[in-house]
């Protein structure tokens, strides 16, 4: 008797999984093109706004703007290669 209950629960689980799979497949088939069209329209609208106003974030003349913070170099690290700040004088060999 318990054996039959186990099989019935297994079949019930398989049917539920198949229903979810085919339900998702139908949802994507009907609403997928709408969602893609909506995303493309939004991207196109943003691109048109950026193209129409490229200097929207322009800074007033005379102002200084720093886009990113430079990487800090620690003096405590022992490096076997020279850093960017060191000058190396090369001699030409004839």
For residue range 25-63, list pLDDT tens digits in order.
999 999 999 999 999 999 999 888 878 776 556 677 888
In a domain, 23, yes or no: yes
Pinpoint the alpha helices (H) of the chain.
2-52
More confident residue, 81 or 58: 58
In a domain, 69, yes or no: no
**8-state DSSP, 84:** T
In a domain, 38, yes or no: yes
Give the whole-number percent of the chain exceeding pLDDT 90.
38
Report the alpha-carbon distance of residue 94 to residue 92 in Å, rounded. Answer: 6
Residue 27: give the domain boundaries: 1-50
Report the alpha-carbon distance of residue 27 to residue 32 in Å, rounded. Answer: 7
In a domain, 28, yes or no: yes
**CA distances for 79 relative to 57, 70, 85, 90, angstroms:** 41, 20, 13, 21
How many domains, the chain?
A: 1
In a domain, 67, yes or no: no
Region 58-80: what's the mean pLDDT? 68
């Amino acid at each position: 008797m318990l054996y039959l209950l186990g099989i019935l629960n297994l079949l019930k689980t398989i049917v539920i999984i198949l229903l979810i799979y085919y339900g998702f497949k139908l949802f994507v088939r009907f609403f997928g093109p709408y969602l893609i069209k909506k995303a493309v329209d939004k991207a196109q609208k943003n691109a048109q706004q950026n193209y129409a106003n490229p200097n929207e974030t322009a800074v007033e003349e005379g102002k200084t703007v720093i886009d990113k913070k430079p990487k800090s170099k620690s003096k405590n690290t022992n490096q076997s290669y020279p850093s960017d700040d060191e000058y190396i004088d090369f001699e030409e060999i004839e």
